[in-house]
Amino acid sequence: MQTTILLIGAGGQLGTELTQGLRKIYGSDHVIASDIRDAQGALKEGRYEKMDVMQRDKLFEFIKKNQVTQIYHLAALLSATGEKDPRWAWKLNMESLLFVLEAAHELKLHKVYWPSSIAAFGPTTPKQNTPQYTIMDPTTVYGITKLAGELWCEYYFRRYGVDVRSLRYPGIIGWKTPPGGGTTDYAVDIYFKAIKEKKYECFLSADTYLPMMYMDDAVKATLDLMEAPAEKVKIRSSYNVGAMSFCPAQVASTIKRHIPDFQISYKPDFRQAIADSWPKSIDDTPARQDWGWKHQFGLEEMTADMLKNLSA
Ligand code: SER
Protein backbone atom coordinates (compact mmCIF):
# COMPACT_ATOMS: atom_id res chain seq x y z
CA MET A 1 0.00 0.00 0.00
CA GLN A 2 1.33 3.41 -0.82
CA THR A 3 2.07 6.06 1.78
CA THR A 4 -0.38 8.91 2.30
CA ILE A 5 0.52 11.35 5.04
CA LEU A 6 -1.88 13.72 6.79
CA LEU A 7 -0.44 16.63 8.77
CA ILE A 8 -2.80 18.16 11.32
CA GLY A 9 -1.90 21.69 12.39
CA ALA A 10 0.20 22.08 9.26
CA GLY A 11 -0.16 25.87 9.28
CA GLY A 12 1.98 26.27 12.40
CA GLN A 13 5.67 27.01 12.82
CA LEU A 14 6.83 23.41 12.50
CA GLY A 15 3.96 22.09 10.37
CA THR A 16 4.73 24.39 7.47
CA GLU A 17 8.31 23.17 7.20
CA LEU A 18 7.53 19.51 7.89
CA THR A 19 4.94 19.61 5.11
CA GLN A 20 7.61 20.86 2.72
CA GLY A 21 10.11 18.26 3.94
CA LEU A 22 7.61 15.42 3.55
CA ARG A 23 6.51 16.60 0.11
CA LYS A 24 10.13 16.43 -0.98
CA ILE A 25 10.40 12.81 0.18
CA TYR A 26 6.98 11.46 -0.78
CA GLY A 27 5.80 13.88 -3.48
CA SER A 28 2.98 16.42 -3.19
CA ASP A 29 0.28 13.91 -4.10
CA HIS A 30 1.05 11.82 -1.04
CA VAL A 31 1.15 14.57 1.57
CA ILE A 32 -2.05 16.29 2.74
CA ALA A 33 -1.62 19.38 4.88
CA SER A 34 -4.54 20.37 7.11
CA ASP A 35 -5.30 23.11 9.56
CA ILE A 36 -8.29 24.87 11.05
CA ARG A 37 -7.46 27.94 8.94
CA ASP A 38 -7.33 28.42 5.18
CA ALA A 39 -4.08 27.41 3.50
CA GLN A 40 -1.28 29.98 3.78
CA GLY A 41 1.90 30.45 1.72
CA ALA A 42 3.74 27.31 0.66
CA LEU A 43 0.94 25.05 1.92
CA LYS A 44 -1.13 26.12 -1.09
CA GLU A 45 1.33 24.34 -3.37
CA GLY A 46 -0.04 20.87 -2.64
CA ARG A 47 -3.03 18.99 -1.25
CA TYR A 48 -4.74 20.90 1.54
CA GLU A 49 -7.81 20.34 3.67
CA LYS A 50 -9.36 22.87 6.03
CA MET A 51 -10.19 20.67 9.01
CA ASP A 52 -11.00 20.88 12.71
CA VAL A 53 -9.31 17.95 14.46
CA MET A 54 -11.90 18.17 17.24
CA GLN A 55 -14.56 16.86 14.85
CA ARG A 56 -13.80 13.20 15.36
CA ASP A 57 -16.27 11.78 12.82
CA LYS A 58 -15.07 14.07 10.05
CA LEU A 59 -11.46 13.23 10.85
CA PHE A 60 -12.17 9.48 10.67
CA GLU A 61 -14.13 9.88 7.42
CA PHE A 62 -11.34 11.90 5.87
CA ILE A 63 -8.70 9.32 6.83
CA LYS A 64 -10.78 6.51 5.31
CA LYS A 65 -11.69 8.36 2.15
CA ASN A 66 -8.13 9.40 1.44
CA GLN A 67 -6.53 6.14 2.59
CA VAL A 68 -4.24 7.98 4.97
CA THR A 69 -1.45 5.76 6.31
CA GLN A 70 0.48 8.19 8.52
CA ILE A 71 -0.50 11.17 10.66
CA TYR A 72 1.68 13.97 11.98
CA HIS A 73 -0.46 15.56 14.66
CA LEU A 74 0.92 19.03 15.40
CA ALA A 75 -2.15 21.01 16.44
CA ALA A 76 -1.90 22.30 20.02
CA LEU A 77 -2.05 25.34 22.24
CA LEU A 78 1.50 26.16 23.39
CA SER A 79 2.79 27.02 26.84
CA ALA A 80 2.01 30.74 27.05
CA THR A 81 -1.33 30.67 25.20
CA GLY A 82 -2.38 27.60 27.16
CA GLU A 83 -2.10 29.53 30.43
CA LYS A 84 -4.70 32.00 29.18
CA ASP A 85 -7.31 29.25 28.81
CA PRO A 86 -6.13 26.13 30.66
CA ARG A 87 -9.38 24.22 30.31
CA TRP A 88 -9.43 24.70 26.54
CA ALA A 89 -5.73 23.84 26.26
CA TRP A 90 -6.38 20.57 28.09
CA LYS A 91 -9.38 19.72 25.91
CA LEU A 92 -7.77 20.59 22.59
CA ASN A 93 -4.35 19.07 23.26
CA MET A 94 -5.61 15.90 24.93
CA GLU A 95 -8.76 15.03 23.03
CA SER A 96 -7.20 15.63 19.66
CA LEU A 97 -4.33 13.29 20.54
CA LEU A 98 -6.78 10.62 21.68
CA PHE A 99 -8.76 10.96 18.43
CA VAL A 100 -5.56 10.46 16.46
CA LEU A 101 -4.45 7.47 18.55
CA GLU A 102 -7.92 5.92 18.27
CA ALA A 103 -7.84 6.46 14.51
CA ALA A 104 -4.38 4.87 14.35
CA HIS A 105 -5.64 1.81 16.21
CA GLU A 106 -9.09 1.43 14.66
CA LEU A 107 -8.19 2.37 11.09
CA LYS A 108 -4.82 0.60 11.22
CA LEU A 109 -2.55 3.51 10.35
CA HIS A 110 1.08 2.62 9.81
CA LYS A 111 2.64 5.40 11.86
CA VAL A 112 1.80 8.42 13.99
CA TYR A 113 4.00 11.36 14.95
CA TRP A 114 3.14 13.56 17.92
CA PRO A 115 5.42 16.19 19.45
CA SER A 116 6.19 16.46 23.14
CA SER A 117 8.29 19.23 24.63
CA ILE A 118 10.78 20.27 27.29
CA ALA A 119 7.62 21.69 28.91
CA ALA A 120 6.90 18.16 30.17
CA PHE A 121 9.65 18.75 32.75
CA GLY A 122 9.26 20.94 35.83
CA PRO A 123 10.94 22.80 38.67
CA THR A 124 12.36 19.74 40.45
CA THR A 125 13.69 18.15 37.25
CA PRO A 126 17.53 18.34 37.15
CA LYS A 127 18.16 21.41 34.99
CA GLN A 128 21.56 20.73 33.45
CA ASN A 129 21.76 17.91 30.92
CA THR A 130 18.26 16.80 31.85
CA PRO A 131 18.22 13.01 31.41
CA GLN A 132 15.72 10.99 29.39
CA TYR A 133 14.28 9.42 32.54
CA THR A 134 13.93 11.80 35.46
CA ILE A 135 11.45 13.70 37.61
CA MET A 136 8.67 15.22 35.51
CA ASP A 137 6.46 17.75 37.29
CA PRO A 138 5.24 20.27 34.69
CA THR A 139 3.67 23.49 35.97
CA THR A 140 1.89 24.67 32.80
CA VAL A 141 -1.26 23.08 31.42
CA TYR A 142 0.64 22.67 28.16
CA GLY A 143 3.33 20.69 29.99
CA ILE A 144 0.70 18.59 31.75
CA THR A 145 -0.84 17.69 28.37
CA LYS A 146 2.59 16.78 27.02
CA LEU A 147 3.41 14.49 29.95
CA ALA A 148 -0.03 12.85 29.86
CA GLY A 149 0.19 12.61 26.07
CA GLU A 150 3.55 10.84 26.25
CA LEU A 151 1.98 8.25 28.55
CA TRP A 152 -0.99 7.80 26.20
CA CYS A 153 1.37 7.26 23.26
CA GLU A 154 3.25 4.61 25.19
CA TYR A 155 -0.06 3.02 26.23
CA TYR A 156 -1.27 2.76 22.63
CA PHE A 157 2.06 1.29 21.58
CA ARG A 158 2.09 -1.35 24.33
CA ARG A 159 -1.58 -2.23 24.33
CA TYR A 160 -2.45 -1.99 20.62
CA GLY A 161 0.90 -1.97 18.85
CA VAL A 162 0.33 1.51 17.38
CA ASP A 163 3.62 2.69 15.87
CA VAL A 164 3.63 6.10 17.51
CA ARG A 165 6.81 8.16 17.74
CA SER A 166 7.57 11.39 19.53
CA LEU A 167 10.26 13.96 20.33
CA ARG A 168 10.53 16.33 23.27
CA TYR A 169 11.37 19.45 21.29
CA PRO A 170 13.34 22.29 22.80
CA GLY A 171 12.53 25.83 21.60
CA ILE A 172 12.46 25.80 17.79
CA ILE A 173 13.81 28.72 15.78
CA GLY A 174 13.00 29.31 12.12
CA TRP A 175 12.35 32.17 9.72
CA LYS A 176 9.51 30.95 7.49
CA THR A 177 6.56 30.91 9.89
CA PRO A 178 6.38 32.68 13.26
CA PRO A 179 5.71 30.54 16.35
CA GLY A 180 2.35 30.79 18.07
CA GLY A 181 2.32 31.49 21.77
CA GLY A 182 5.31 29.71 23.31
CA THR A 183 7.78 30.71 26.01
CA THR A 184 10.75 30.16 23.71
CA ASP A 185 9.32 32.51 21.03
CA TYR A 186 11.69 35.32 22.04
CA ALA A 187 14.49 33.47 20.22
CA VAL A 188 12.55 33.88 16.97
CA ASP A 189 11.12 37.37 17.59
CA ILE A 190 14.57 38.75 18.37
CA TYR A 191 15.80 38.04 14.81
CA PHE A 192 12.71 39.55 13.15
CA LYS A 193 13.04 42.69 15.30
CA ALA A 194 16.81 42.87 14.81
CA ILE A 195 16.30 43.11 11.05
CA LYS A 196 13.29 45.44 11.16
CA GLU A 197 13.98 47.76 14.11
CA LYS A 198 17.50 47.03 15.33
CA LYS A 199 16.12 46.68 18.83
CA TYR A 200 14.20 44.15 20.88
CA GLU A 201 12.51 44.10 24.26
CA CYS A 202 12.85 40.59 25.65
CA PHE A 203 10.16 39.02 27.84
CA LEU A 204 12.74 36.79 29.55
CA SER A 205 15.72 37.97 31.61
CA ALA A 206 19.21 38.21 30.10
CA ASP A 207 20.56 35.02 31.69
CA THR A 208 17.62 32.65 31.11
CA TYR A 209 19.19 29.57 29.56
CA LEU A 210 16.91 27.24 27.60
CA PRO A 211 17.51 24.31 25.25
CA MET A 212 16.98 25.38 21.63
CA MET A 213 17.14 23.96 18.11
CA TYR A 214 17.26 25.43 14.62
CA MET A 215 14.32 24.52 12.38
CA ASP A 216 16.48 22.58 9.92
CA ASP A 217 17.59 20.34 12.76
CA ALA A 218 14.04 20.00 14.13
CA VAL A 219 12.76 18.86 10.72
CA LYS A 220 15.72 16.51 10.35
CA ALA A 221 15.20 15.01 13.83
CA THR A 222 11.52 14.41 13.09
CA LEU A 223 12.07 12.84 9.70
CA ASP A 224 15.02 10.76 10.95
CA LEU A 225 12.88 9.39 13.77
CA MET A 226 9.93 8.69 11.49
CA GLU A 227 12.07 7.01 8.83
CA ALA A 228 13.96 4.84 11.34
CA PRO A 229 13.12 1.10 11.37
CA ALA A 230 10.53 0.42 14.09
CA GLU A 231 12.87 -1.77 16.13
CA LYS A 232 15.29 1.13 16.55
CA VAL A 233 12.61 3.28 18.14
CA LYS A 234 12.92 1.89 21.64
CA ILE A 235 11.31 4.75 23.52
CA ARG A 236 7.60 5.11 22.83
CA SER A 237 6.80 7.90 25.26
CA SER A 238 9.03 10.61 23.75
CA TYR A 239 12.74 11.11 23.06
CA ASN A 240 14.85 13.93 24.48
CA VAL A 241 16.51 15.77 21.58
CA GLY A 242 19.02 18.55 22.04
CA ALA A 243 21.12 20.83 19.88
CA MET A 244 22.19 23.97 21.75
CA SER A 245 21.51 25.93 24.91
CA PHE A 246 21.75 29.71 25.22
CA CYS A 247 20.30 32.76 26.97
CA PRO A 248 18.93 36.03 25.50
CA ALA A 249 22.16 37.93 26.23
CA GLN A 250 24.12 35.44 24.14
CA VAL A 251 21.75 35.69 21.17
CA ALA A 252 21.95 39.48 21.41
CA SER A 253 25.75 39.53 21.36
CA THR A 254 25.82 37.07 18.44
CA ILE A 255 23.38 39.28 16.51
CA LYS A 256 25.52 42.36 17.32
CA ARG A 257 28.42 40.85 15.44
CA HIS A 258 26.24 41.10 12.30
CA ILE A 259 24.24 44.21 13.23
CA PRO A 260 26.55 46.33 15.46
CA ASP A 261 23.90 48.87 16.54
CA PHE A 262 21.38 46.22 17.65
CA GLN A 263 20.04 46.96 21.15
CA ILE A 264 18.31 44.62 23.59
CA SER A 265 16.32 45.50 26.72
CA TYR A 266 14.62 43.20 29.21
CA LYS A 267 11.12 43.21 30.63
CA PRO A 268 10.33 39.74 32.00
CA ASP A 269 6.63 38.85 32.18
CA PHE A 270 4.65 35.74 33.24
CA ARG A 271 6.68 33.65 30.83
CA GLN A 272 9.78 34.04 33.01
CA ALA A 273 8.33 31.65 35.63
CA ILE A 274 7.55 29.13 32.90
CA ALA A 275 11.09 29.33 31.51
CA ASP A 276 12.54 29.03 35.02
CA SER A 277 10.69 25.75 35.52
CA TRP A 278 12.20 24.16 32.39
CA PRO A 279 15.56 22.46 31.75
CA LYS A 280 18.52 24.58 30.69
CA SER A 281 20.14 21.86 28.62
CA ILE A 282 19.19 18.36 27.49
CA ASP A 283 20.92 14.99 27.51
CA ASP A 284 19.76 13.20 24.39
CA THR A 285 22.04 10.14 24.50
CA PRO A 286 19.22 7.61 23.81
CA ALA A 287 18.15 9.45 20.61
CA ARG A 288 21.78 9.52 19.43
CA GLN A 289 22.28 5.84 20.25
CA ASP A 290 18.95 4.38 19.13
CA TRP A 291 18.40 6.06 15.76
CA GLY A 292 21.51 8.14 15.18
CA TRP A 293 20.32 11.65 16.04
CA LYS A 294 22.94 14.31 15.25
CA HIS A 295 22.37 18.07 15.15
CA GLN A 296 24.09 20.45 12.76
CA PHE A 297 23.37 24.00 13.88
CA GLY A 298 24.83 25.90 16.83
CA LEU A 299 24.10 29.52 17.78
CA GLU A 300 26.66 31.03 15.37
CA GLU A 301 25.56 29.05 12.30
CA MET A 302 21.90 29.57 13.11
CA THR A 303 22.28 33.34 13.58
CA ALA A 304 24.09 33.72 10.26
CA ASP A 305 21.41 31.69 8.49
CA MET A 306 18.46 33.44 10.17
CA LEU A 307 19.78 36.93 9.39
CA LYS A 308 20.65 36.02 5.80
CA ASN A 309 17.17 34.61 5.12
CA LEU A 310 15.27 37.34 6.94
CA SER A 311 17.19 40.13 5.21
CA ALA A 312 16.40 38.57 1.83
N1 SER B 1 8.39 26.09 22.38
C2 SER B 1 7.34 25.63 23.21
C3 SER B 1 6.81 26.68 24.07
O4 SER B 1 7.55 27.58 24.39
C5 SER B 1 7.84 24.52 24.07
O6 SER B 1 7.44 23.33 23.54
O7 SER B 1 5.70 26.62 24.48
Q: 209-238: per-residue pLDDT in tens?
A: 999 999 999 999 999 999 999 999 999 999
Q: Tell me, in angstroms, the distance from the centre of ligand 1 to residue 29's CA.
A: 31
Q: Whose CA is nearest to atom 7 of ligand 1?
A: 182
| Superfamily of segment(s) 5-170+214-240 | NAD(P)-binding Rossmann-like Domain (3.40.50.720)
Q: What is the pLDDT of residue 179?
A: 81
For residue 177, pLDDT over 90 is answered with no
**Rounded mean pLDDT, 166-183:** 93
Q: Tell me, in angstroms, the distance from the centre of ligand 1 to residue 19's CA.
A: 20
**Rounded mean pLDDT, 31-60:** 96
- Could you write out the DSSP letters of every residue in the chain? ----EEEETTTSHHHHHHHHHHHHHH-GGGEEEEESSPP-GGGGGSEEEE--TT-HHHHHHHHHHTT--EEEE-----HHHHHHSHHHHHIIIIIHHHHHHHHHHHTT-SEEE--EEGGG--TTS--TTB-SSS-----SHHHHHHHHHHHHHHHHHHHH---EE-EEE-EEE-SSS---S-STTHHHHHHHHHHHTSEEEESS-TT--EEEEEHHHHHHHHHHHHHS-GGG---SS-EE---EEE-HHHHHHHHHTTSTT-EEEE---THHHHHHTS-SSB--HHHHHHH-------HHHHHHHHHHHHH-
CATH code of the region 172-212+244-282+296-311: 3.90.25.10
Choose which residue among 177, 184, 271 to substitute to test ligand 1 binding: the one with the highest number of ligand atoms within 8 A of its C-beta. 184
Q: Whose CA is nearest to atom 2 of ligand 1?
A: 182
Q: Where are the domains of the chain?
A: 5-170+214-240, 172-212+244-282+296-311
Q: Tell me, in angstroms, the distance from the centre of ligand 1 to residue 233's CA.
A: 24
- Ligand 1 pocket residues where CB is under 6 Å: 78-79, 117, 119, 142, 169, 171, 182-184
